[in-house]
Amino acid sequence: MNILITGAWAEAKEYIPEIEGMGHKVLFLQQEKDALPCSPDWAEGVICNGLFLSHPIEEFTGLRYIQLTSAGFDRVPMDYIRAKNIEIHNARGVYSIPMAEFAVAGVLQLYKGLNTFKRQQQRREWSKRRNLRELNGKKVLIAGCGSVGTECARRFTAFGCYVTGIDELPQTKEPFGKILAPACLDEELREADILVLTLPLTEETKGLIGERQLQLMKPDSLVVNISRGGVIDENALVRKMEHIGGAVLDVFEEEPLPEESPLWAMENVIITPHNSFVGDGNRERLADLIMRNVSKQR
């Protein structure tokens, strides 16, 4: 197979000799926006992230295999890929562990007042806080019960939380206490202490959490978004931040988050630059997944 590999896989060059040893021909493109090192119809397989945002997939007439370095499919034209019966794989499971750890860390940062304590440390101020909260016994609602949602459920369960999932496939599945259909979202929001969003951005999930959903939530509840910014109506979130207890936001509708966004200055909001997926185990997990999938190609 002729395979075009892009710099979206940071360690690709270390593995190209092994891929070529499997009988594949490989070309490398560091920046996906740059000119291709070959005619598009040369590539029968690609390992990439956002390659087709700069190079129309319709020009890749010989394409039959795509390996994404991302967990999401929102940067590739899935309707076209399905219509052409192109085999596609994402990076499922690669980033789930650091993202789940991030979700727990963000909640604990708010529950334990760590931002305040850090500022006190900088001022050399010894002042106790009497309003810290525990994770134990809290009700966690996870929207999206795939790999990331499942890893989140494992960790919140370990802290003594009761975890409910919302997913297109209602089922009984550990470590969730229960997994319910999307139609149950509003009812579950009324009871949730923590809402964690780990679902993909689709036509159905865009704006899933809007003003009405936020109004249903408890005044001291938290929202954690480690999925895609578009899953939350950001303007509604700004308006309702005084109603809920806080938010941990790693993704936004517009990235970078504009400097004029009111979210930057909100005391009960943690903002990070789409960074929750980063972990020192990603390199090995991604390489194992890609090499396993490539080895099956002929």
Residues recognised as catalytic: 228, 255, 274
Q: Which residues contact 149 (CB under 8 A, 6 or more apart)?
A: 142, 143, 165, 167, 196, 198, 199
Q: What does the radius of gyration of the chain's CA atoms come to, in whole angstroms?
A: 21
User: 136: which 2 tokens?
Assistant: 């134990």
Strand order of the β-sheet with 25-29 is 25-29, 2-6, 45-48, 65-68, 87-89
Partners of residue 166 on adjacent β-strands = 143, 180
Rounded to whole angstroms, how far apart are CA atoms 270 and 250? 8
Partners of residue 143 on adjacent β-strands = 166, 197
- Residue 44, CB-side half-sphere exposure with 13 Å CA sphere: 8
Partners of residue 165 on adjacent β-strands = 142, 179
User: 74: which 2 tokens?
Assistant: 């929102």
What single-letter DSSP state applies at residue 7?
A: T
What single-letter DSSP state applies at residue 257?
A: P
Q: Whole-angstrom distance between the N-terminal and C-terminal Cα of the chain?
A: 6
State how far Cα 231 lies from the chain centre: 11
Mark out the alpha helices in 72-228 (DSSP H runs).
78-83, 96-111, 114-122, 147-158, 185-189, 211-216
User: 80: which 2 tokens?
Assistant: 């076209």
